[in-house]
């Protein structure tokens, strides 16, 4: 009788192990077949801060978010933020000097007068588009908020690659934006992607990069101590 129980137990373990293997194969296949997009420059270098939008029928709309773009060492962090339409963004100041954050972009015009530690109320971004940020005190400071009503929108990291969520079968409109595509910051690359594509997009960067910030001796000492 113990031998029979042992045989049943081994059979159960074998079936359980086989099920786990099938699950692992299924997960691997799904991951391998997921659509991916790779954003490079025309020189073949991966591009950070490229925003990818994919349009497809989705039952679940993206929910508005609450995000921060903070100021430190006379620079905005992050340099590019992607949020759904209707989101709120606050602008905390982590510097020892005052900042005056503003935007004249059609998607959102706002003005946060000089402030230090008293963070102003968050700004409501209720219209899709690219919002260019500046500081009235430090001309070199620049950042971007891409407000998107697409079912999927995200920005690339240093590797320049995004793995997309499960897409419906067929072709879907895809748009790609980067701060240096054009001086107007309103130009998008457009194309199509399927649910299994490994799409590489090479962007020709025409806009000049922003000048490097010049830190005061006090700011330099503060950064070195951080």
pLDDT in tens, 103-151: 999 999 999 999 998 999 999 999 999 999 999 999 999 999 999 999 9
Alpha carbons 182 and 188: distance in angstroms, whole number: 9
What is the domain-level CATH number for residue 48? 2.60.40.420
103 CB-near residues (< 8 Å, 6+ apart):
109, 110, 131, 132, 133, 134
Lowest mean pLDDT segment, chosen from 47-51, 153-157, 178-182, 207-211: 207-211
Residue keyed to tokens 């420059």: 41
Instruction: Indicate if 25 and 83 belong to the same structural domain.
Output: no
226 part of a folded domain: no
Is this structure's pTM higher than 0.75? yes
What sign does the CA torsion over 212, 216, 219, 224 have?
Answer: positive
225 part of a folded domain: no
Alpha carbons 112 and 98: distance in angstroms, whole number: 11
- Residue ranges making up the domain that contains 58: 35-208
pLDDT in tens, 164-176: 999 999 999 999 9
Q: Are 39 and 185 in contact (CB under 8 A)?
A: no
pLDDT value of residue 7: 45
């Amino acid at each position: 009788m113990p031998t029979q129980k042992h045989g049943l137990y081994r059979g159960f373990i074998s079936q359980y192990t086989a099920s786990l293997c099938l699950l692992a194969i299924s997960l691997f296949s799904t991951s391998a077949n997921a659509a991916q997009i790779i954003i490079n420059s025309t020189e073949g270098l991966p591009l950070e801060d490229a925003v990818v939008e994919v349009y497809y029928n989705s039952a679940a709309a993206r929910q508005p978010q609450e995000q921060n773009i903070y100021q430190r060492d006379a620079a905005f962090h992050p340099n590019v933020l992607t949020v759904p339409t209707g989101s709120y963004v606050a602008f905390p100041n982590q510097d020892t000097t005052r900042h005056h954050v503003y935007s004249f972009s059609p998607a959102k015009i706002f003005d946060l007068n000089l402030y230090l530690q008293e963070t102003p109320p968050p700004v409501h971004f209720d219209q899709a588009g690219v919002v260019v940020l500046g500081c009235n005190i430090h001309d070199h400071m620049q950042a971007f908020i891409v407000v998107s009503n697409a079912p999927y929108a995200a920005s690339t990291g240093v590797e320049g690659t995004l793995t997309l969520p499960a897409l419906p079968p067929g072709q879907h409109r895809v748009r790609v934006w980067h701060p240096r595509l054009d001086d107007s910051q309103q130009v998008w690359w457009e194309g199509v992607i399927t649910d299994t594509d490994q799409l590489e997009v090479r962007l020709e960067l025409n806009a000049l990069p922003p000048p490097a910030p010049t830190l005061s001796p006090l700011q330099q000492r503060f950064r070195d101590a951080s």
